[in-house]
Chains A and B, each alone.
Chain A
Amino acid sequence: MRFLISIKISIRNLLSSKLRSFLTILGIIIGVAAVVVIFAIGRSAQKLIVDQIQGIGSNLIAVIPGDSQEDGPPPIAFGILIKTLTYEDLEALRHKNRISEIESAAGYVIGTKTVTFLKNEATVSVDGVTASYKDVENVEVEKGRFFNRNEERNLSKIAVLGSSVAKDLFGDVNPLGRKIKIKNHKFEVVGVLKPRSAGGFTSSGQDETVFLPLKSAQKLVYGIDHLFVIRMKAKDPALIKPAKQKISQILRQRHDIKDPAKDDFSLRDQASVIGLVTDVTDVIRYFLLVVGSLSLLVGGVGIMNIMLIAVSQRVREVGLRKALGARNIDIASQFLVESVTVSLIGGVAGIILGLLISLIVYLIINALGYDWSFNISFTSIGVGFLISIGVGVIFGMYPAKKASRISPMEALRYE
């Protein structure tokens, strides 16, 4: 009852000087809005980045020839050519579901060659891959087909084109059934892939790549027997760890390695990268949160200021209330409820403003073509509420105490 009356009194006092009240509340509005926006946008930005990485494949495991640090560059980056990884290794790894955690596995050889069609010429990535590339990399075919398991082994002279390559070489001509020339060999185009900005495992992106069956690329184009990399897709990101153990076991057995320190291969996955990115974006988020808190601090000081003014303007009122029987605690709680009400009104306005800004950002970024999710984070709304109550209590405490100490006798004499 008394509590409701205190709220009523404070709202009446707020309304009695609207501009001043608004200016006071403004600090809180901005602070809370900042916190809400940081929560909502920070989340979405993090999600966008993580999604981009996941688009490349978060449940992928890569087997690279040669030993290397988990987060260091592979040996090939230093120009060291290691030929220990073979097609037979791949066959062993995917043999009859030996590794139940793995959905599919693909082998790759990678390089750059000049590709010609009639007078058109393009120097692009020419990669040899197994038929399973399609499953591992989630490739979608626009026209024609991808090659099959038989074609990957029997030196078939066929090719599948990335979308940009197809456009560069053929323009408006339908490439299907036509022959392109790579290093004196003619390959018939059997498929064109859908455009895809991110993903794939090529030096210049899937759209800029010509895909050949693995053996054809090894023998006819590059003249090698080894693989550059094996990529495997786990059924679930959580299964990556057990899958990696089994892969290591199988490869050690095949390569006759007794001491794990002498592995001639290394395994990579994207979980660690995502973890790192999440950590970094978290730090940025917390930093922005500190900035938001500073504006709340400013808002809080504003509230303290307005409450002190209110106390000095209402000395007589306080004196009267005391004369009528109000205890110190009654006066203190009245002013405290007032400051919390002020702060809470600011908080609610701030939450609404923050959500509005987040929505606008969401609309703009989506219009720019990014997949940006609009998360109404209930945590941020809750935090906004708690913060505004907290600011009201903390910065209302001193003025409330000051008011409660006013002597009724002096207050009634006060003009």
Chain B
Amino acid sequence: MKKDYLIEVKKLEKTFYTGGVETRAVRGVDFKIKKGEFLTIMGPSGSGKSTIMQILGFLDRPTGGNYYFKGQNSKKFSDDKLARLRNREVGFIFQTFNLLSRTTVFENVELPLLYSAQKRNKKQIEKMVEKALKKVSMNYRSAYFSNQLSGGEKQRAAIARALVNEPEIIFADEPTGNLDSKSGKQVMKILQDLNRQGKTVVLITHETKTARHAKRIIKIIDGKIQDDYPVKKSIDANGKGDLK
């Protein structure tokens, strides 16, 4: 039964202790994500949405409850297993792009392949990087250094990096937050296209309009799910849809 879902969380909790102060970021959250879904986790800042994403993306472990990935309980996963999952199954897109400076677009995109357990020769790597760059129409910038790119180009390079290892699921944490509306639209279009091609996409945002590019919205407030509903009329970034 669990295998029908890519992701299933039950009573998920995360509590931080910083300087003796307890912060309950996530307070018992239940939801399931099917393969091929495009959903938004939406909420104001400090609501715990990013924490949920970090747990789902194996960047952090929950302090309570269970997280099943492809039917397997993540509690049993070792640190190395988590690293492998981040490498193989997950692609991240960040608000601040997180490209390495003094490094070319190609080298940035190739990074996940270098940490892959799978041995590939230089030619195979080049082919995969080019394929990923093509998907975001960035192959013409392959030899540019990351600091020579515009914001939109940076984010597209980052998306190529997220895609290069053909992950199962993509997490995009406020991907348009640092972009002008035109670049933002481009990014949302890419995410929608990826979803159409079968990728599971999880978008994290605090903006309703951005959220409505997805097909389902989970609203988080104070670490709890306030609402979980399908989007009746998704904004199509391809057509008339607007972002801001």
Contact = CB atoms under 8 A, between A and B. Distances in A.
A282 B57 CA distance: 62
Q: Which of B59, B83, B102 has the most chain A CB atoms closer than 10 A to its own CB?
A: B83
A352 B31 CA distance: 65
Given A16-B102, A317-B100, A320-B98, A327 B59 contact: no
A324 B87 CA distance: 5
B80 A409 contact: no
B86 A412 contact: no
Contact of B59 (A1, A326, A409): A409
Contacts of B60: 407-409
Interface string A1-38: 11001000000100010000000000000000000000
B42 to A, nearest CB: 20
Contacts of A16: 102
B114 A1 contact: yes
B8 to A, nearest CB: 21
B61 to A, nearest CB: 9
Nearest to B110: A5
Contacts of A322: 59, 83, 86
Contacts of A324: 86-87, 92, 111-112, 115, 161
Contacts of B54: 409
B115 A326 contact: yes
Interface string A48-69: 0000000000000000000000
Given A1-B114, A325-B88, A412 B102 contact: no
Contacts of A316: 98
Interface residues of B, number: 23
Given A325-B87, A409-B54, A412-B94, A320 B102 contact: no
B45 interface: no
Contact of B80 (A1, A5, A320, A327): A327
B79 A327 contact: yes
B147 interface: no
A45 to B, nearest CB: 48
A323 B115 contact: no
Interface in B54-104: 54, 57, 59-60, 79-80, 83-84, 86-88, 92, 94, 98, 100, 102
A328 interface: yes
Contacts of A12: 102
A325 B84 contact: yes
Nearest to B97: A320
B59 A323 contact: yes
Contacts of B57: 323
A2 B114 contact: yes
B98 A412 contact: yes
Contact of B116 (A317, A323, A325, A328): A325
B115 A327 contact: yes
A323 B111 CA distance: 11
A43 B54 CA distance: 62
Nearest to A328: B79
Interface in B116-165: 116, 161, 165
Contact of B111 (A1, A321, A327, A409): A321
Contacts of A320: 98, 100
B115 A321 contact: yes
A330 interface: yes
B121 to A, nearest CB: 9
Nearest to B100: A317
A213 to B, nearest CB: 87
A281 B59 CA distance: 61
A352 B87 CA distance: 43
B146 to A, nearest CB: 12
Nearest to B167: A325
B172 to A, nearest CB: 13
Contacts of B165: 325
A1 B120 CA distance: 10
A322 B161 CA distance: 14
A16 B147 CA distance: 14
B92 A323 contact: yes
A412 B96 CA distance: 10
A5 B115 CA distance: 11
A327 B102 CA distance: 23
Interface in A279-337: 316-317, 320-328, 330
A412 B115 contact: no
A182 B87 CA distance: 102
B125 to A, nearest CB: 9
A407 B84 CA distance: 15
Contacts of B114: 1-2, 5
Nearest to A5: B114
Given A317-B100, A323-B57, A409-B59, A330 B92 contact: no
A327 B98 contact: no
Given A324-B161, A325-B112, A328-B83, 4 more contacts: A2-B114, A321-B115, A325-B88, A407-B60
30 contacts: A1-B114, A2-B114, A5-B114, A316-B98, A320-B98, A321-B111, A322-B59, A322-B83, A322-B86, A323-B92, A324-B87, A324-B92, A324-B111, A324-B115, A325-B87, A325-B88, A325-B115, A325-B116, A326-B115, A327-B79, A327-B84, A328-B83, A330-B115, A408-B59, A408-B60, A409-B54, A409-B59, A409-B60, A412-B94, A412-B98
Interface of A: 1-2, 5, 12, 16, 316-317, 320-328, 330, 407-409, 412
